[in-house]
Amino acid sequence: MAGKKSAPSAVVQVAFSALMAAVIFVATYFLQVPIPGTVNGYANLGDMMIFLCAVILGNPWAGFSAAIGSGIADIVYGAGWYIPATFVIKGLMGFLSAAFAKTGKTGWFFLGNLLCGALMCGGYFVFEMLVFKTGSISGLTYAINSLPMNILQACICVVGATLLFKPVSAIRGRLIKN
């Protein structure tokens, strides 16, 4: 079937998903800033890699890579209590970003990733408000303390990924072949 483009094999998709989970882990764990007033909370550049992973892998693979790479970073960082929230939030971010990346339009990708940033900020806010109470600090105070850094992280990652959207889209086909 000459000229017909086929989807990458499952083995290739799984291999690239594992590779992207590792890239997300590295960007999350090594490119981070601790958030004052929290228990091992941190801002990082992992979300930018989640968004770029969405461009490269598409769905559902981007969601899996995002959840696994970010969850492993929480374990290694010593913030294992975040794993349930991280797995759901980051997995949804990868899935949602891939849906918007599929349009091929930078504006839609930007909008989708803004929604992902809002999901991240809101998801962690609710999780922290419900789960954390450290000493005299209420869960609400804890969540409020981490919100500004989460917003900053979302903004930086959305802008960075949007700037890289077209170049990464252009090389996507060369990265993943059968």
Burial environment of residue 146 by CB neighbours within 10 A (0 to 12, 13 to 18, 19 or more): buried
Residue type, 162: T
Alpha-carbon gap, residue 29 to 69, rounded angstroms: 10
Residue 161 tokens read as: 């990924």
For the domain spanning 11-171, the CATH number is 1.10.1760.20
Q: Which H/E stretch holds residue 124?
A: helix 106-131
Residues in the chain: 178
The domain locations on the chain are: 11-171
Q: What is the pLDDT of residue 1?
A: 46
Residue with structure tokens 């550049």?
Answer: 45
Is the distance from CB of 74 to CB of 90 less than 8 angstroms?
A: no
Q: What is the pLDDT of residue 6?
A: 62
| 3-state DSSP assignment of residue 3 | coil
- Per-residue pLDDT of the chain (178 residues), as tens digits, is 455 556 678 888 899 999 999 999 999 999 887 777 666 667 789 999 999 999 999 999 999 999 999 999 999 988 889 999 999 999 999 999 999 999 999 999 999 999 999 999 999 999 999 998 767 678 899 899 889 989 989 999 999 999 999 999 999 877 776 4
